[in-house]
Structure 1
Amino acid sequence: MPIGSFLLSFFVIWRIWTVHHRLFDRVKSIDNRVVRINSLWLLCVVVLPFAAEMVGEYGDEPVVISLYTGVLLASSLTLVWLAFALHRADPARDRPGLEQLIGNAAGLSLAFVLALAVPGAGYWPLLVLLIDGPVLALARRVGRRKQLSL
């Protein structure tokens, strides 16, 4: 299943690279702190194909699922850390997608905990990632209603 793990790797990296690109979209300059955090994020991207290869090789072994989900979680948390560091460097700058980044990190945290707690669950805990968008949209809607009622 090498082609499957390659494609998995490609699409996951493509997705997180797109998020990373949007994060840096309007950044004019960065400091050393941002460079160091970005290097950690890059390490996650480099490790991801290895984790995907393990998925292709060993399937639904609990250690492999934990490794794969853990690498995704590390990447997600590093993107959140980058977003905060960029905001700190330029507080006037908008923080596009920060809520979404936090929601994704929360979903991956839950998926990681479920993968560790329920070894027989396979990759099903990753389906939690499908609900962060709708949950965020609902939270925004509720927030707007509260503002309107004030």
Structure 2
Amino acid sequence: MAEPERDRGFERLVAFIDAMVAIAITLLVLPLVELTAEIDDYDSVNALLRENQAEVWAFLLSFAVIARLWFVQHDSVRHVVGYDRRLARLLLLWALTIVFLPFPTALVAETPDDSTTKLLYIGSMVLSTAILTLVEARLARHPGLTDGDDDADPVNGAANVAMLAAALVITLVVPATSYAPLLLLLAADPAARAWRRLRT
């Protein structure tokens, strides 16, 4: 039996969103590129890197975050063959959170301990993950938008949102923890599995 063909309009929408993600992830490296103009101010490249560890760390962390969010989004829509206006709006709103992320990333490099920086940075991740959870919920309620093989389940997304929100609260209430509470994300999958067992 032939698989349903993906709607051409949806293909264009996904390609457009992928292009935005690619641009956003490229923008992350621009502050590092600009550092090369200051190489004469340092004794060596090693010295430049040591002095700008915060910028390098912020780049690597945000690259990993955007890549992870893109993989989650990709997994969410891989079985989608059609779309409606609400799904399109959710995906575009998700893309907005990704395009915005280089801004708080730059702030993390300059003012990592500022509470507003933490709110913007981790808050962007919370919002992005929450939107993908809504996409999963939309597809679970409207399986006709998929090829029939989709196993859309918002539980994983909800667990990630909960862990990110908890990380945000902890880092704001206990500033000394810095961004370490983001490691709570490692508990998201076990939490989702535990929730599923409780429901069965």
Tell whether the structures are fold-level matches, with TM greater than 0.5: yes
Which of structures 1 and 2 has the bigger CA Rg?
2
Once the two structures are TM-superposed, the CA of residue 39 in structure 1 deviates from its matched residue by 1.0
CA RMSD, Structure 1 to Structure 2 (Å): 2.2
- Name the aligned partner's letter for residue 31 of structure 1: D
User: Could you say which residue in structure 1 is the equivalent of 2:137?
Assistant: 84
Unaligned stretches of 5+ residues in structure 1: none
Partner of 2:179: 123
Does the 8 A contact of 2:159 with 2:192 survive in 1?
A: yes
Would you say how many aligned residue pairs link Structure 1 and Structure 2?
A: 144
| Distance in 2, Cα, partners of 1:132 & 1:88 | 23
Unaligned runs of 5+ in 2: 1-51
Q: Is the 8 A contact 1:111 1:128 kept in 2?
A: yes
Matches within 5 A, 1:8-47: 8-47=61-100
Task: Tell me what 2:34 maps to.
Answer: none
What TM-score, normalized to structure 2? 0.64
Deviation digits for residues 67-92 of structure 1 (CA, Å, limit 9, x no counterpart): 21101101011111111222333268
Aligned partner of 1:134 in structure 2 is 190
Identity of aligned residues (%): 34
Match of 1:3 in 2: 56
Counterpart in the other structure of 2:105? 52
SS at match of 2:101: helix
TM-superposition CA deviations, 1:57-115 (whole Å, max 9, x none)? 22222221222110110101111111122233326854445221111011111112223
Kept after mapping to 2: 8 A contact 1:31/1:89: no
